Amino acid sequence: MRARKGNAVKTVFVINGPNLNLLGKREPSIYGGKDLEAISKDCLQAGEDLGLMVDFRQSNHEGVLVDWLHEAGEQAAGVVINPAGYGHTSIALHDAIKAIAPLPVIEVHLSNIHAREPFRHHTMTSPAVVGMICGLGPTGYILALRALADRI
Ligand code: DQA
């Protein structure tokens, strides 16, 4: 079933945090060879298949990510977020996700953060989201979009 209310296609934000603009070149043994533009295209296609309009974004700046979560709270039906390094440190992102409740937010990490350095095992954001996917590479974004489509 398509995630539509009446004829209106719902918009979901896919928000990417710091350093993800370097995907493809950045530590490919950990993050893979796909760049963010290719992941964006896959997400837009998945959105089309699911009946969702995907608004895909990336910023290296914590405050911009907070602003986009607030914007999602006004305009979107759900959010997929890879908070990248800020996931491990940012109470502000945790608070922003809580502030836009009950909007469903799903956290994604390309790598398996639990199999990496201890400082990556915890994220500030995970207690605030409906669910988290990690370790499945770019497929995680698509699975998160499917999960959002089921909820909204
Ligand atoms: C990441 C994992 C984080 O620990 C790291 O800081 C990133 C990327 C991932 O997608 O695997 O920048 O979020």
Could you tell me the residue ranges of all domains in the chain?
4-151
Domain 4-151 -> CATH class: alpha beta
Query: In the chain, which residue ranges form alpha helices assigned H by DSSP?
Result: 28-31, 36-50, 62-75, 86-89, 91-99, 139-151
Active-site position among 31, 86, 94, 141 = 31
What is the C-alpha to C-alpha distance for residues 114 and 126, in angstroms, rounded to an integer?
13
Question: Per residue of the chain (152 residues), what is the pLDDT tens digit?
Answer: 444 445 689 999 999 999 999 999 999 999 999 999 999 999 999 999 999 999 999 999 999 999 999 999 999 999 999 999 999 999 999 999 999 999 999 999 999 999 999 999 999 999 999 999 999 999 999 999 999 999 99
CA-based radius of gyration for the chain: 14
Q: Give me ligand 1 centre to Cα 145, in Å.
A: 19
Q: Which atom of ligand 1 is nearest to the CA of 20?
A: 12
Give pTM, 2 decimals: 0.94
